[in-house]
Structure 1
Amino acid sequence: MTTTPDLRTSQGSDYAELSREVKKAGLLERRGGYYAARITLNLLALVGGGVAFVFIGDSWWQLLLAAYFAVVFTHLSFIGHDAGHKQIFRTRKANDALGYLHGGLVGLSYGSWIGQHNRHHANPNHEDDDPDLDIAALAFTVEQGRLKHGVLRWMAKYQAYLFFPLLLLEGFSLHATAVRTVVKGEIRLRGLEAALLIAHAVIYFGGVFIVLSPLTGVVFILVHQGLWGVYMGCSFAPNHKGMPTLQAGHELDFLRKQVLTSRNIRGSRIVDFALGGLNYQIEHHLFPSMPRPNLRYVQPIVQRFCADKGIEYAQCGLVRSYRYVLEHLHAVGAPLRANG
């Protein structure tokens, strides 16, 4: 079970020192060529998949395309994530335009996600202030588990076993959140987001049920959305779950708060591609506006800096990261199982 780190520090200038070194290395500069190529390839993959979908027609072979589209949707979402962090263009307006476009392509509310994700970055793994720790179906601390009742309490008991099956619902949950925030008017550009969500729904459901029979269409949607949710969840979950949680009144400075609550995933460029750069979670949290391809190069700088300052730097392999997540969820549910 993880607890609040007891490290006390007054060295708020450490982050400024690290930032100067990173800026001097030129790693905060935009990578226009990289993103132009990445966005073009993603859009070609989306269009190519659409052409194949029409060509194959009403066939159960479409379920292979459902898995393919789950991958494409995730990588479109990665671009939306990068745009939200101002990694692609210098201006917020240009990044937001791209972010809204990609939100529409996958059927998400970019404005809603930005608000939640910014709160997460400001207070990662904070028991009260991190919205990523406020998920009804899961308990990330013993206190959260204790406060649950009924079905949610039963789910918290066995959440380690339910975690991956629950990810099958993540895509549907993201869509539901998008619709709810638009209907309630909780976002700034409500009209734009509503139009994008309607356009996405018309094209998506219209395309599916014009080409496929009702049964095949329903199964296609279930497979596509389910696998998309699993891929998204598997990309984001290892980054903080099972790392130390913070409570109100903690005395960690920005550098230590971000590093001690985050976990990196080791791997090759294949891992970089598969996880959209989120495997460099420590560096991403320290420099959220840093372009994705530069995270690989800043990683050894940050790791060396942390070693020099005596700051624990968490890093492990991909499979081990999921074990950490499941072990943490199992430990949080233990008191509930013990009490029956």
Structure 2
Amino acid sequence: MSFASGRGRKQEASGPAPRAEFIPRELRQVAAPLQRRQVRRTGAGGLAAAWGAASGHLGWAGRRGRGEARRGAFLTERGCRAPRWFVPGSVSMAVQEGGGTGAGEAARGGRRRGLFTWEEIGLRTKRGDPRREMWLVVDRQVYDVRHFYWRHPGGARILKAHIGEDATDAFHTMHADSTLVKSFLSSLQIGELASDEPSSEPSKNKQLIDDFRELRATITKMGLMKPNIFFYLCLLLHIILLEAAAWLTLLYCGTSLLPFTASLIFLTTSQIQASWLQHDLGHFSVFPKTKWNRRFQKFVMNHLIGGSSKWWNLLHNQHHVKPNCYSKDPDVSFHPFLFAFGKNLSVELGIKMTKYMPYNHQHKYFSIILPPLLIPALFHYHNFFVIFKKKFWMDLACMVSFFFRFFFISWNLLGVNCLIFYLLLRMLVSCWFVWVSQMSHIPMDIDYDKNLDWFSTQLKATCNVEQSLFNDWFTGHLNFQIEHHLFPSMPRHNFWKAAPLVKSLCAKHSIEYQCKPLLKAFADILHSLKEYGDLWLDAYLHK
């Protein structure tokens, strides 16, 4: 089989690429771009090396895949230049370029991986270094994600946020089936921690980490991670009934002010409750199988709400792994352009003489900017921006059904006033969503990432609101924000059962567990914004 080299010459490959019928569909999809790139860069042996790289990257353990990987390694040793992402024998080229005890043996024979210390990992992944490696640790195994992070299904920023860190708890918490996911990571592994090294960074509290993992195992054994399907079906039914009531009110009672307002209230409630439900589906907490969670989330988010489920998951997962961490949590991205968040960050802005807004008055303009305008403005712009940037065409096609249904019904009932009805609907949903979602985060610690353990990271960034039937329904059980952040895939109807166990662990390690009334939680948003603004002003005036 012949193909054109980088200089246009015809060269003979050392062996044919695997026949299509022997290759899994997923492998063909990944190998195609690798094949084209390899042909351009390497000349002889490029095609076989591409198939070998794809086989190793996907963890395809077939005999033909391993053979192509060995053939690609052989050609590389004969002088064919391979890109860094080539994976001969499941050992990445990053290892061959040096790093870790035993890296030389791994590069030459692919039989042994490196042994690393936390000090070495810290030096090789130092922020600001132009030659910075992209290594992270999961269950004491060291992985190089340089050539994978941009294809990570949960988004590239999640992996980049954990570079140089122990990501074990984040990995197991954010994956519904971490065992299955880990089986695909062998091609990314470059070594493991030395036997005398701790499993997490020496700066972290080992006892707290062990206690949290024991708590997670206990909660799993208690069955608190198992969903009640009937509970969620009732939620979906009441969402559909509320939307039906909204349209029937306009149909049978007319379009005067009173039925117009009643219909708006019904539809707003339906939309916000649908938002809480799709949030649960996005965390795989409704159905035992991931694919059913994904399918129903697409139905609720795309068809009932008119948003992109992939857009939501992309941003929300980033928020969960690094909550209230500036530049890593998208929920605090309004700092510093609209608001000054966090005590230290506000002082830093003042010292730097940064003033995009009059932050000392932010507690006054917060209520008229963020709550009513987040969804009408940012939701529409950023939603479609990400859809077209990431090419989420299926999500876009599904969203069309919402807009067609909404405007077809509302136009026949309200005429041109349907535009006003839509705008008011989005503003009311936005207000409800912002006050509920931010009451547990804005008053808490907002700062740069301090690389704390999972339990400490979540407790510093979240607080709870007192339980009641109304609070549970009104907030979609996000009044248990602490338990939700510690165990995102836990069904929401089990939060109250896990709360006493979390409180006992907090008491053991002297960590504050905050719980407050609902109205006080709303008021604390404004109080904390005023405090941040005053700190900024003092630093700005050099007092």
Same fold per superposition (TM over 0.5): yes
Q: What does residue 194 of structure 1 align with?
A: 396
Partners of 1:124 and 1:110 in 2: CA distance: 20
Aligned AA (2:324): N
Question: Which of 221, 232, 244 lines up with 2:445 in the alignment?
Answer: 244
Question: Is it true that 1:257 corresponds to 2:457 in the alignment?
Answer: yes
Partners of 2:325 and 2:353 in 1: CA distance: 19
How far the C-alpha of 1:225 sits from its partner, in A, is: 1.5
Partners of 2:457 and 2:347 in 1: CA distance: 21
Matches within 5 A, 1:1-340: 9-11=205-207, 12-61=209-258, 62-104=260-302, 105-135=304-334, 136-141=337-342, 142=346, 152-154=356-358, 156-166=359-369, 167-172=371-376, 173-184=378-389, 186=390, 190-214=392-416, 216-248=417-449, 250-337=450-537, 339=540
When structure 1 is superposed on structure 2, of 174-183 and 287-296 the one drifting more is 174-183
SS of 1:153's equivalent in the other structure is coil
How far the C-alpha of 1:145 sits from its partner, in A, is: 5.1
Aligned AA (2:426): Q
Partners of 1:180 and 1:144 in 2: CA distance: 31
Partners of 1:269 and 1:245 in 2: CA distance: 30
Q: 1:74 to 1:120 in 2, by over 3 A?
A: same
More helix, by proportion:
1
1:242-267 CA deviation, whole Å, 9 max, x = no partner? 2112423x242111111221100013
Aligned AA (1:28): M
1:204-237 CA deviation, whole Å, 9 max, x = no partner? 22322221142x4343223222111111112201
1:31-81 CA deviation, whole Å, 9 max, x = no partner? 111111211221122223222232233322312211221111000010100
How far the C-alpha of 1:202 sits from its partner, in A, is: 2.1
How far the C-alpha of 1:174 sits from its partner, in A, is: 1.6
How far the C-alpha of 1:289 sits from its partner, in A, is: 0.5
Asked if structure 2 preserves the Cα contact closer than 8 Å seen for 1:9 and 1:251, the reply is no
Asked if structure 2 preserves the Cα contact closer than 8 Å seen for 1:264 and 1:316, the reply is yes
Partners of 1:50 and 1:271 in 2: CA distance: 27
Asked if structure 2 preserves the Cα contact closer than 8 Å seen for 1:277 and 1:292, the reply is yes
Aligned AA (2:287): F
Q: 1:159 to 1:229 in 2, by over 3 A?
A: same
SS of 2:367's equivalent in the other structure is helix
Partners of 1:336 and 1:312 in 2: CA distance: 26
Q: 1:251 to 1:182 in 2, by over 3 A?
A: closer
1:113-136 CA deviation, whole Å, 9 max, x = no partner? 101110111001112211111024
Aligned AA (1:164): S
How far the C-alpha of 1:148 sits from its partner, in A, is: 9.4
Q: 1:143 to 1:55 in 2, by over 3 A?
A: farther
SS of 2:206's equivalent in the other structure is coil
Partners of 2:287 and 2:432 in 1: CA distance: 26
Q: 1:126 to 1:303 in 2, by over 3 A?
A: same
1:147-184 CA deviation, whole Å, 9 max, x = no partner? 7977x423x34221122222111221223322222232
Partners of 1:267 and 1:291 in 2: CA distance: 16
Asked if structure 2 preserves the Cα contact closer than 8 Å seen for 1:80 and 1:99, the reply is yes
SS of 1:212's equivalent in the other structure is helix
1:276-302 CA deviation, whole Å, 9 max, x = no partner? 010000000111111010111111121
How far the C-alpha of 1:82 sits from its partner, in A, is: 0.1
Asked if structure 1 preserves the Cα contact closer than 8 Å seen for 2:246 and 2:264, the reply is no
Partners of 2:295 and 2:353 in 1: CA distance: 40
When structure 1 is superposed on structure 2, of 159-168 and 231-240 the one drifting more is 159-168
Aligned AA (2:262): L
Greater relative CO (CA pairs within 8 A, separation 6+): 1
Partners of 2:271 and 2:217 in 1: CA distance: 36
Asked if structure 2 preserves the Cα contact closer than 8 Å seen for 1:112 and 1:181, the reply is yes
> Percent identity at matched positions?
24
Aligned AA (2:256): S
SS of 1:138's equivalent in the other structure is coil
Could you tell me which runs of 5 or more consecutive residues in structure 2 were left unpaired when the two chains were aligned: 1-202
Asked if structure 1 preserves the Cα contact closer than 8 Å seen for 2:232 and 2:286, the reply is yes
Aligned AA (2:313): I
SS of 1:26's equivalent in the other structure is coil
Aligned AA (2:285): Q
Partners of 1:201 and 1:330 in 2: CA distance: 39
Asked if structure 2 preserves the Cα contact closer than 8 Å seen for 1:66 and 1:221, the reply is no
Partners of 2:328 and 2:504 in 1: CA distance: 30
Cα RMSD for the two superposed structures: 2.2
Partners of 1:71 and 1:145 in 2: CA distance: 39
Asked if structure 1 preserves the Cα contact closer than 8 Å seen for 2:480 and 2:495, the reply is yes
